[in-house]
Amino acid sequence: MSNHNLYDILSQRFPVDGNKPFIIGSASDALSYSQLEKQSAQLANYFYYLDLKPGDRVAVRVKKSPQALLVYLACLRAGVIYLPLNTDYTEAELQYFFTDASPSLIIADPSDQAYCESFVQQQFALFETLAANGSGSLIDNSATFPEQFDNVVCAADDLAAIIYTSGTTGRPKGAMLTHGNLAANALMLHDAWGWQQQDILIHALPIFHVHGLFVACHGVLAAGASMIFMPAFSVTEVIKQLPNATLMMGVPTFYTRLLADKNFTKELCATMRLFISGSAPLLATTHQIFEQRTGHKILERYGMSETSMLISNPLNGERRAGTVGFPLPGVDVRLVDTDNSIVAVGEVGSIQVKGPNVFQGYWQLPEKTAQEFTDDGFFITGDQGVISEDGYMSIVGRAKDMVISGGYNIYPKEVELVIDAIDGVKESAVFGIADADFGEAVAVAVVTKDGLSIEAETLIASAREKLAAYKVPKLVYFLQQLPRNTMGKVQKNSLREMYSATSPAKGNS
């Protein structure tokens, strides 16, 4: 049987010269392809020594570093399931993920050791540390292991990663992605975006999500290319590195922040061949202003955690502002009405997709999974789209009132459950409000019990104890009652309209 292990597929495409940098940097930060091979082998050997078996979960909650990426590659090689977790998650959120996924090994920053310990005991899990500077027990313990490893033989439908996404019920669900899913998407994007060995990517995204981990890193690996790996997005750092790069990927906030800096000029972009945007809608005006400033048309694409990338503007041909382009080769996309019939060209429909990149379902939720697929095997994305006469897709709506802030998806229900549990709160409604920096900011309308007075700051501080910072409302509005329709459903559109003109202060009304 041929090996469908994603690492095996990617490594066949690595450069012949092992000294070529995978990560470009100063001596201690740089990583060549041969170092990548050796160090990921040591980690994979160590996982084997720890008796991790294919199918076991390895939960990783560490700061961005080259070593963190090696852990991911080692998991692929060892056939264990990689479970990345946002470094911003609170203890309460982590408790949920650890309980739901029951990892055999938890890897966390040394500063998290104390509170990880209770989980480790509850779960009978193993525990290792990994710090942002690449030190920690994991690296110490694996350092003496062999630098060669025979990649575990995988079938295409063996799980490679579980990526948690929130949902309408407020309980995050683990999207199960296979080696075959990830390989298919990596190879389609390789061709679609014209990746070359000479490419140098500016990598400024977090690596606990599909965008920064799979789309960006697989792109580099599948091309045997190089990247400049930044701990986080910083306008100054990107401006400094642009003249050394050919490609950049980001969420729209990256591009609006760059444009807001007068030092961001056309001259800086002389070696760049492509800017790609995703994870949140790019305003057509941003696309246009970016082109005026740099001469580059940002390539906007569309995807989801469950499916990786689905639709992309073309590399060659018109990149149309306000659209996400055409389905990637091998991806079947259709727009349907409420009866599941295909809509006419130019009409809005619910986006459904099928393809080798579409996930296996939600971790331990077969019924939920079944609900999200049609009888003929299409995944129901929950988004609404419209296709133009000449085939360009525009995303025109999101089901489930989801908010996208700076490229992170926030499901109102999850935040409402936390706000409603705060002392003195009767009920709340969370919604998105336009924000110049993040695209959308999380806002909440709150009704207190018996008209009680609560300070917005108190409410925010309480929410912050339970929720990652990016989910915490940036605007709080107090109301006598929530606007509802005759069926009793809260009218989020009315809330958005009521508050759309407010300044980004913590408003009281």
Q: By C-beta, is 71 or 282 nearer to ligand MCA?
A: 282
Q: Return the percent helix, strand and coil in the chain, to nearest 5.
A: 35, 25, 40
Q: In whole angstroms, what is the distance from residue 57 CA to residue 55 CA?
A: 6
Q: Which two tokens stand for residue 298?
A: 């940002």
The CA distances from residue 174 to 79, 96, 266, 366, in Å, are: 18, 11, 42, 12
Residue closer to ligand MCA by CB (options 154, 205) is 205
Work out which of 206, 219, 385, 473 binds ligand MCA, going by CB under 6 A: 206
Q: Is 325 in the site for ligand MCA (CB under 6 A)?
A: no
> Beta partners for 59?
83, 106
- What is the spatial distance between Cα 40 and Cα 499, in angstroms, rounded to a whole number? 50
Name the one range near ligand MCA by CB under 6 A: 135-143, 223-231, 356-364, 406-414: 406-414
- In the region spanning residues 148 to 167, those forming contacts with ligand MCA, defined by CB under 6 A, are none
172 binds ligand MCA (CB under 6 A): no
Closest approach, Cβ 408 to ligand MCA, in A, equals 4
Question: Distance from first CA to last CA of the chain, Å, rounded?
Answer: 66
Stretch near ligand MCA under the rule CB under 6 A, chosen from 201-209, 263-271, 320-328, 335-343: 201-209
**Residue 136 in contact with ligand MCA, rule: CB under 6 A:** no
Q: Does 279 bind ligand MCA (CB under 6 A)?
A: yes
Choices 210-218, 336-344, 347-355, 367-375 (CB under 6 A): range interacting with ligand MCA? 210-218
Q: CA-to-CA distance for 110 and 108, rounded, in angstroms?
A: 6
Rounded to whole angstroms, the Cα distance separating 409 from 448 reads: 27
CB of 109 to ligand MCA, least distance (A): 16
Least Cβ distance, residue 295 to ligand MCA (angstroms) = 24
Type of residue found at 85: L
Q: What is the DSSP letter of 315?
A: S
Residues 5-64 that bind ligand MCA (CB under 6 A): none
Residue 463 C-beta: closest distance to ligand MCA, Å: 10
Give kind and range of the element (H or E) at residue 71. helix 66-78
Using rule CB under 6 A, residue 278 touches ligand MCA: yes
Q: Name the minimum Å distance from CB 44 to ligand MCA.
A: 26
Should residue 469 be labelled a site residue for ligand MCA when binding is judged by CB under 6 A?
yes
Q: Using the structure block, give the residue that is written with the tokens 């360009």.
A: 392
Residues 43-56: b if buried by 16+ CB within 10 A, e if exposed: bbbbbbebebeeeb
Both structure tokens of 85: 């977790």
CB 223 within 8 A of CB 13: yes
Among residues 275, 326, 438, 477, the one that binds ligand MCA under rule CB under 6 A: 438
Closest to ligand MCA by CB, 121 or 234: 234
Structure tokens at 204: 């400024």
| Contact stretch for ligand MCA (CB under 6 A) within 43-51, 137-145, 203-211, 375-383 | 203-211
Q: Buried (b) or exposed (e) across 299-337, using 16+ Cβ within 10 A?
A: bbbbbbbbbbbbbbbebeeebbbbbbbbbbeebebbbbe
Nearer to ligand MCA, 165 or 491 (CB): 165
Q: Is 470 in the site for ligand MCA (CB under 6 A)?
A: yes
Cβ atoms of 304 and 381 within 8 Å: the answer is: yes
Contact pick of 46, 72, 408, 411 for ligand MCA (by CB under 6 A): 408
219 near ligand MCA, rule: CB under 6 A: no
Query: Does residue 354 bind ligand MCA (CB under 6 A)?
Result: no
Position 312 contacts ligand MCA (CB under 6 A): no
Select from 373, 317, 329, 379 the least CA-distant residue to 353: 379
Instruction: State the minimum distance, in angstroms, from the CB of residue 375 to ligand MCA.
Output: 26
Interface with ligand MCA includes 253 (CB under 6 A)? yes
Contact residues: ligand MCA, CB under 6 A: 205-206, 209-212, 233, 251, 253, 278-279, 303-305, 405-408, 438, 469-470
